Amino acid sequence: MAEKETKVVQKQQGKPSREAYTRESTPAEVVEIVGRLGASGEITQVRCKVLSGFDKDKIIRRNVRGPINIGDVLMLRETEMEALPIR
């Protein structure tokens, strides 16, 4: 009779996988206003710090339309892509 081998699965230390987080909005706080873009300056480029989720504490560059100030909280659909820098 052959003995069955039992495998012990160990939990990985550190961040959970990206799939472990839900597909809902992620809050991010505006820390710096970089500049304005667009033909009439209607878009503002900001640097924001992600407050929760897989990319927590990551600072990313995003384009925002409408009035924005330092300290405002944006609700981002995704935190993987970053806006291109202003030339």
Residue 72 lies in a domain: yes
Contacts of 80 (CB under 8 A, 6+ apart): 55
pLDDT > 70? residue 59: yes
- Domain-located, residue 17: no
Question: For the chain, how many structural domains are there in total?
Answer: 1
Name the nearest CA neighbour of 46 among 57, 32, 36: 32
User: Does residue 87 fall inside a structural domain?
Assistant: no
CATH code: domain of residue 30: 2.40.50.140
Q: What are the tens digits of pLDDT across the range 9-49?
A: 555 566 666 666 666 899 999 999 999 999 999 999 999 99
Task: Answer yes or no: pTM beyond 0.85.
Answer: no
The answer on pLDDT for 1 being more than 60 is no
- Inside any domain, residue 7: no
Range of the domain at 47: 26-76
